[in-house]
Structure 1
Amino acid sequence: MLQGLRRTARRVRNAFRRKNRPQKTAVVGENNKEIIVDPIQQVISTPHLAMDVDSLIKRQVTNIDFNNSYFSIEGMAWFESFPEKDPEKIVKSLVLINEDGRETVIALNNSKVDLPGYPQAGYYGSINFSKINNGGPLDPGRYEIRLRMRQYLSQGWLIRQTSLGQIKNTHKNLNYTTKMTSYSAQSNKTYSLIFEYNLAEQSMHVSSHKLSDINPLENEFTSDYELDSAVGRRLKRTALHWWYRWYSLRPIKSNKVSFVSDSRTSISGNFEFIYEDMQKEAPELQASFYLKPNIKAKKSWHEVRTLAKALATSRFIILDDFYPLIYPLKIRDNADLIQVWHAVGAFKTFGYSRVGMPGGPKLTSLNHRNYTKVLVSATSIAPKYAEGFGIDPENVLPLGIPRTDIFFDTAKQDSIKTRLKEELPFINGKKVILFAPTFRGNGQQSADYPFETLNFKKLYDSLHEDYVFLLKIHPFVQNKPTIPYEYTDFFYDVSDYREINDLLLIADQLITDYSSVCFEYALLKRPMVFFAPDLAEYMKSRSFYYDYFDFIPGQLAESMDELLYQLENPKVDKPKLDAFVDYFFDDLDGKSTQRFVHALKSNFGEDDKLDLEDERYSEDGKYIPEWGKKAEQSRK
């Protein structure tokens, strides 16, 4: 009996030890052979290689940098007993190990160093903790950041991992705290990210903690207007539909023009140019405005009924953006629904050009399809807009975009510049860099921008003596830039300034990425840099109408170092820029608004319609650049 009790006790004790012993991790190594990682010894061995216990990693971190959630590292690591010159035989990586022993491996790049016998000892790399988890932030928890080194010897692969080591010129513990964000249509999350370096242990840990999780459909980051509930919006859509049918029994007012938008509350942009020209050239046309700041902004029942009446009885209804309330309606035979759009040119695909892509529309969608007229800047891009909006190409009119007339009106430009120098006094005596990227994500609820790709310190140190840096962030973007207080005499957030064209006039250089702002800035023939560090990732979810590398009328920067160099050495490729402008603008005369208002007065005669037969040249004989031809051929 005593022996039985001893055997039972031994089994329990052994089971307890097995349960609490750190687990070995199996990963796939060279030639798909299993590598066994022992977390106690931190020695990684392969079944076919006897490890030399003296083959320790020598290492030093020469530089480390934190930029929001972007972590960059440079250093040296080598096996002292095994000098090697062939970079193909040396593989270095960082390993994130959580409290459960789960590993995430991040590859490092080899770099040459002046170290006799070990020329491939150098390494560098970076981690974007906001995107590390399948495009999302680092999961909550605490992780050790370790260095793993693999070197091929005659017997096989020698593999070990260790702590990061001594950071050069560091004589105390380090701590750095920042935030990460994640945006989707269902959930907007915020995390804290904490880095801790222990000098005595020469080790680094990173911790992720979730701070908030907000449903964007229930919360809106604004206090300027009252939101309507989802139920309220559905009921009012139904009511508008029935009122529209009722008021459609009345005759159309031949001189009534209704300007409608759910993305603005002021008469600016295309609306401003059209309205001002109507007052001068067509006073017989009566303008009314139905404006709201957001599609979720509350409309009273009286406003809904008034809007329904206007939509049913207006000769012309003019939109400048997405407007979901109107798409289920059947536009009356002798009325026109005109989309003047808020962008120029054709860059990244939109609308029905994105069917089947993430965030793209369904083929059964009614959005945009009831436009009877659409304005574009050139004959060459009319097919793109016809496809994107799902309408007949004959309804796309290359009359020009009214708000681009500002680029041909020097008197008005001078007036705007004078006003901006008073409203933005920090631009006086400085050159101006305007940063105006587009958003990432599939829509307004998930829109964000990866600000961690911008290194505020490097930009400040390199440019602040001569420049100011204006940030004009897309209004959809949920996360806002956090400008370090020590750099606030250089970086200025002007995102709330409505009209970007005004800001383009004072910009000496433009930084953008995939935004249509490049079309209007091209008219100024000034330097542009296309900062696209996430180009490969962006291409997975969005495509372009033209080959990105051939198309962009400026310099490409895919890293901070490239961006800084190009800002410090601005260039303009004049022949390419001229061809770009010539392709995307039929008329460079500043009379787009006049042509449109004349078309309103003449009820869009037959002469205004398009002939899209010529594939080699535009209708007015303009030569199509090579990237334009390739884009056309690829879409046929």
Structure 2
Amino acid sequence: MLTRLKRRARQVVRHLRRPAPAVDSTNVIDANAVTNQLNEPHLATEADSLIKRHVTQLDFNGAYLTIRGQAWFEQFPEDDPEKIIKSLILIDEQGIEIAIPLVNAAVKVDKFPQAGYHGAINFAKLNHGKPLAPGRYEMRLQLKQYLPQGWLIRRTSIGQIGQAAKDLNYTTKMTSYAAKSNQTFSLIFEYQLAAQAFFVSSHKLSDINPLENEVADAGYELENPTLRALKRRLLKWWYRWYCLRPIKADQISFVSDSRTSISGNFEFIYQTLQQDATNFKTTFYLKPSIKAKKSFREVRQLAKALATSRYIFLDDFYPLIYPLKIRENADLIQVWHAVGAFKTFGYSRVGMPGGPKPTSLNHRNYTKVLVSSQQVVDKYAEGFGITDDKVLPLGIPRTDIFFDQAKQAEIKTRLQTELPFINGKKVILFAPTFRGNGQQSANYPFETLNFKQLYDGLHEDYVFLLKIHPFVQNKPTIPYEYTDFFYDVSDYREINDLLLIADQLITDYSSVCFEYALLKRPMVFFAPDLADYMRSRSFYFDYFDFIPGQLAENMPELLDQLKHPKIDQTKVDQFVDYFFDDLDGQASRRLVDALNDGFAASTAAAEQLDADGQLRTDDGKVIPDWGRTTKKNPPA
């Protein structure tokens, strides 16, 4: 009998030591590959190494799965979490594996104080940032525990799910966006009660090239790519022709391919010009998109305006103008749509995914760029590929609204009519930036936002407004039972108006935090994909020190922080002082005064050390540690 047991033990050990079949490493995500090092056969007997397990919670939110449970080797109690590794293993029909680490939880079962585990899986990002590859996978539970003789490793099914009394099924969709391939997948989860087995299936539903299958948005017609290329050449030719004419000293042209109305910075500049009754003549050349159709007549009019205007204002990326040489007595002025400096942009991203080529002409012909603070001059100079002297910290015109109480009251009254669902409720505004390398691949991982949990926790006191970046191609799907709480206001053009009615802001890596900081209200930075975002996109400052609000990296943290809003007033004050030189609501006035005198006045500022070694700007504002551009040396 003893001999038979030893023989069986040796068979188990040989089985555990048997190497896994060779697989294509490009298709395997397994950062925790393990090797069985047991050298005492009696430890590997079937009875000793059985896994006791139970799933206590399984939640689906789109392609985002949250799991909690318990798993332990009954014969080997252990209270050191470093000696216990739990994982979920997805195994496809070819034997290719994907390992998903679980987090140990201090849940005591009998003599085993580390029995618990929890984990979250975003199947829409599981395959190197893309959806789970098509196929059918079995999900197995792997338990690895260190014993005095080595590692004991076993795999089993996930076990009983809660009080499930029948087979379970759940179906959702996943999307993937890239410059030349927009894909949709179905995702199916199956739980077989009798076998206590869990299966995941991915099936590709569609694959569309957005460049070949674009459909014009309502309200404008897309330009044929061939005609667009021809019109670019004609614009350059007409521009050179009109450069033979004199510059009109009183002419200002406002040019944008991202708006159809006089709004944003353009609105505040124009209103100030009108109030002053200046001699400037203003003309607007506006289109809703870079790809919106321009007639040959419009192209010629634009070329003439660019060649003969004293001042040309842009508020966003405008590729038609970058190949042009701006005339000596004219100014091309970028009043960028973002405030401050947060995530890197432009030439600060050379060599990164989606970054420009070093030889690109984009942005380099600006003669003036408006920014909010001397502290970000070097960031904008680097990002636009221009010299520091062309970046002027006069302030951002549209931020004047945050110092105009009468205008704010007017906007709030109007929004109470236009958005009646905000009346009698506190307002949470959700305004994240997009993921992806550009407009064609822009998306947001809505599966990380649990609509049910937000509704259950907040709907009695709040409404939740979603203001999604206009580049984002996948739109939020709000469950019908929550439509009295969630409202998609992405089509509302001016986000600053929405900030005025927001009691709390949720953002992530968006520059909207700069404007909202002026209101001195609570912010939560919801960044469940922070590590992935940092790998693909860098920041000008250390993210953790920089953000003027609370950080939430998962749904429980987000809910808790929304229910218990906090604000670090000292940090917010330092943040505002750093990114805004002048807190007076006169940015539009300073710009118009500069237009009148041809930008003759100097706007330079400098950092100075005071007697205590505290770094300050020349007007006495404290520079926080994360924002220093010079070394802090002791006073002489």
Structure 1 residues 560, 633: CA separation in 2 closer, same or farther (over 3 Å shift)? farther
Structure 1 residues 30, 172: CA separation in 2 closer, same or farther (over 3 Å shift)? closer
> How far 1:86 moved relative to its partner?
3.0
What amino acid does structure 2 have at the position aligned with 1:323?
Y
Spell out, residue by residue over 1:258-306, the C-alpha distance to the aligned partner (whole angstroms, 9 max, x if none): 1000111111111111111111214411111111111111111111111
Q: What CA distance in whole angstroms lies between the structure 2 residues aligned with 1:86 and 1:613?
A: 51
Q: Which runs of 5+ in 1 are unaligned?
A: 1-22, 36-44
Give the equivalent residue in structure 2 for 1:97.
Answer: 91
Question: Paired residue for 1:591, among 586, 590, 595?
Answer: 586
Structure 1 residues 132, 613: CA separation in 2 closer, same or farther (over 3 Å shift)? same
Spell out, residue by residue over 1:104-163, the C-alpha distance to the aligned partner (whole angstroms, 9 max, x if none): 111111212231212221111111111111111100111111111222334433322111
Alpha-carbon contact 2:455-2:482 (below 8 Å) kept: yes
Query: Is 1:120 the counterpart of 2:119 in the alignment?
Result: no
Q: What CA distance in whole angstroms lies between the structure 1 residues aligned with 2:393 and 2:103?
A: 50
Query: Is 1:233 the counterpart of 2:232 in the alignment?
Result: no
Spell out, residue by residue over 1:14-70, the C-alpha distance to the aligned partner (whole angstroms, 9 max, x if none): xxxxxxxxx9647999998855xxxxxxxxx96874631223222111011111111
TM-score for the superposition, normalised by structure 1: 0.91
Query: Is 1:392 the counterpart of 2:387 in the alignment?
Result: yes
Structure 1 residues 82, 617: CA separation in 2 closer, same or farther (over 3 Å shift)? closer
Alpha-carbon contact 1:395-1:609 (below 8 Å) kept: no
Partner of 1:617: helix, strand, or coil? strand
Query: Is 1:403 the counterpart of 2:398 in the alignment?
Result: yes
Partner of 1:562: helix, strand, or coil? helix
Give the equivalent residue in structure 1 for 2:55.
Answer: 61
Structure 1 residues 618, 24: CA separation in 2 closer, same or farther (over 3 Å shift)? closer
Alpha-carbon contact 2:39-2:149 (below 8 Å) kept: no
Structure 1 residues 32, 179: CA separation in 2 closer, same or farther (over 3 Å shift)? closer
Spell out, residue by residue over 1:230-260, the C-alpha distance to the aligned partner (whole angstroms, 9 max, x if none): 2222111111000000011011111111100
Alpha-carbon contact 1:345-1:584 (below 8 Å) kept: yes
> How far 1:382 moved relative to its partner?
1.3
Give the equivalent residue in structure 2 for 1:14.
Answer: none
Give the equivalent residue in structure 2 for 1:572.
Answer: 567
Query: Is 1:523 the counterpart of 2:518 in the alignment?
Result: yes
Query: Is 1:460 the counterpart of 2:455 in the alignment?
Result: yes
Q: What CA distance in whole angstroms lies between the structure 2 residues aligned with 1:568 and 1:25?
A: 50
Structure 1 residues 633, 97: CA separation in 2 closer, same or farther (over 3 Å shift)? farther
Q: What CA distance in whole angstroms lies between the structure 1 residues aligned with 2:356 and 2:164?
A: 53
What amino acid does structure 1 have at the position aligned with 2:627?
G
> How far 1:469 moved relative to its partner?
0.5
Query: Is 1:157 the counterpart of 2:156 in the alignment?
Result: no
Partner of 2:487: helix, strand, or coil? strand
Give the equivalent residue in structure 1 for 2:45.
Answer: 52
Query: Is 1:208 the counterpart of 2:202 in the alignment?
Result: yes
What amino acid does structure 2 have at the position aligned with 1:79?
F
> How far 1:488 moved relative to its partner?
1.0
Identity of aligned residues (%): 71
What amino acid does structure 1 have at the position aligned with 2:616?
Y
What amino acid does structure 2 have at the position aligned with 1:610?
A
Partner of 1:306: helix, strand, or coil? helix
Alpha-carbon contact 1:396-1:610 (below 8 Å) kept: no
Give the equivalent residue in structure 2 for 1:20.
Answer: none
Spell out, residue by residue over 1:559-615, the C-alpha distance to the aligned partner (whole angstroms, 9 max, x if none): 11111111111111111111111111111111111111121122222x144355768
Give the equivalent residue in structure 1 for 2:353.
Answer: 358
What amino acid does structure 2 have at the position aligned with 1:470?
L
What amino acid does structure 2 have at the position aligned with 1:628?
G
- Superposed counterparts of 1:378-457, under 5 Å: 378-457=373-452
Structure 1 residues 252, 160: CA separation in 2 closer, same or farther (over 3 Å shift)? same
Alpha-carbon contact 2:607-2:616 (below 8 Å) kept: no
Question: Paired residue for 1:317, among 308, 312, 317?
Answer: 312
Structure 1 residues 215, 578: CA separation in 2 closer, same or farther (over 3 Å shift)? same
Q: What CA distance in whole angstroms lies between the structure 1 residues aligned with 2:159 and 2:34?
A: 29
Partner of 2:341: helix, strand, or coil? coil
- Superposed counterparts of 1:175-194, under 5 Å: 175-194=169-188
> How far 1:216 moved relative to its partner?
2.1
Query: Is 1:471 the counterpart of 2:466 in the alignment?
Result: yes
Alpha-carbon contact 1:49-1:156 (below 8 Å) kept: no
Partner of 2:409: helix, strand, or coil? helix
Give the equivalent residue in structure 2 for 1:290.
Answer: 285
> How far 1:204 moved relative to its partner?
1.2
> How far 1:89 moved relative to its partner?
2.8
Give the equivalent residue in structure 1 for 2:612.
Answer: none
> How far 1:83 moved relative to its partner?
2.9
Give the equivalent residue in structure 2 for 1:370.
Answer: 365
Give the equivalent residue in structure 2 for 1:9.
Answer: none
Spell out, residue by residue over 1:463-515, the C-alpha distance to the aligned partner (whole angstroms, 9 max, x if none): 01000010101111111111111111111111110000000000000011111
Give the equivalent residue in structure 1 for 2:8.
Answer: none
Spell out, residue by residue over 1:145-188, the C-alpha distance to the aligned partner (whole angstroms, 9 max, x if none): 11112223344333221111111122222211111111111211
What amino acid does structure 1 have at the position aligned with 2:187?
L
What amino acid does structure 1 have at the position aligned with 2:427?
V
Question: Paired residue for 2:333, among 317, 321, 338?
Answer: 338
Q: What CA distance in whole angstroms lies between the structure 2 residues aligned with 1:406 and 1:123?
A: 50
Q: What CA distance in whole angstroms lies between the structure 1 residues aligned with 2:32 and 2:448?
A: 35
Give the equivalent residue in structure 1 for 2:123.
Answer: 129
Alpha-carbon contact 2:607-2:617 (below 8 Å) kept: no
Give the equivalent residue in structure 2 for 1:75.
Answer: 69
**Which deviates more from structure 2 when the two are superposed, residues 73-82 or residues 519-528?**
73-82
Partner of 2:441: helix, strand, or coil? coil
Alpha-carbon contact 1:393-1:610 (below 8 Å) kept: no
